[in-house]
């Protein structure tokens, strides 16, 4: 749980909302797909029970990831099968975070507008893990000011002669 929380806190400062620049056309397609899933899976009814919030959130994130794969930001979104399970989300999210997401999920389900949940800071973190991993990797690969520079070998065969 601590690794999720600490990773989120580090990434939150580096992750602007602008990482989700969907065109209106793409947003309408995603929204339509989400509304279809919501109706079929009865998310609004399931959200009446507090214990099912993590289950619905996992399902919503899976469906959002699936729908976002056909948009211009597909390379920033994790694959649907990489979405955390309900059990993992239940353990990783605090009660306050679950309550915050429950309100956003209920509003999205009731009004048929999924923008708030897709751009919610916690949802973004879970959907954009691929981007966050890339940011983290890039940060780790920055050369240290105190480490000695390694020589660059362009062609090892030529340089060994």
Residue-range domain boundaries for the chain: 26-133
Q: What is the pLDDT of residue 129?
A: 59
Confidence of residue 56 (pLDDT cuts 50, 70, 90): very high
CA-CA distance, 25 to 27, in Å (whole number)? 5
Q: How confident is the model at residue 80 (pLDDT cuts 50, 70, 90)?
A: confident
pLDDT at 36: 95
Is the whole-model pTM more than 0.85? Answer: no
Residue with structure tokens 């999924």?
114
- Return the number of other C-beta atoms located less than 10 Å from residue 111's C-beta: 10
How does pLDDT run across 96-122, given as a tens digit for each residue? Answer: 988 898 999 999 999 999 988 887 777
Please give the residue that has the higher pLDDT: either 42 or 149: 42
């Amino acid at each position: 749980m601590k690794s999720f929380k600490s990773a989120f806190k580090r990434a939150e400062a580096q992750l602007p909302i602008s990482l989700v620049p969907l065109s209106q056309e793409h947003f309408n397609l995603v929204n339509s797909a989400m509304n279809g899933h919501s109706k079929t899976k009865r998310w609004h009814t399931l959200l009446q029970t507090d214990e099912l919030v993590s289950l619905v959130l996992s399902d919503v994130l899976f469906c959002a990831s699936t729908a976002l794969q056909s948009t211009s930001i597909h390379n920033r979104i994790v694959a649907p099968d990489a979405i955390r399970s309900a059990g993992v989300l239940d353990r990783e999210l605090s009660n306050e975070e679950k309550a915050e997401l429950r309100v956003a999920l209920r509003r999205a389900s009731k009004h048929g507008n999924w923008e708030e949940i897709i751009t919610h800071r916690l949802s973004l973190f879970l959907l954009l893990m691929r981007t966050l991993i890339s940011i983290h990797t890039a940060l780790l690969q920055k050369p240290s000011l105190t480490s000695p520079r390694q020589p660059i070998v362009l062609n090892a065969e030529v340089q060994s002669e």
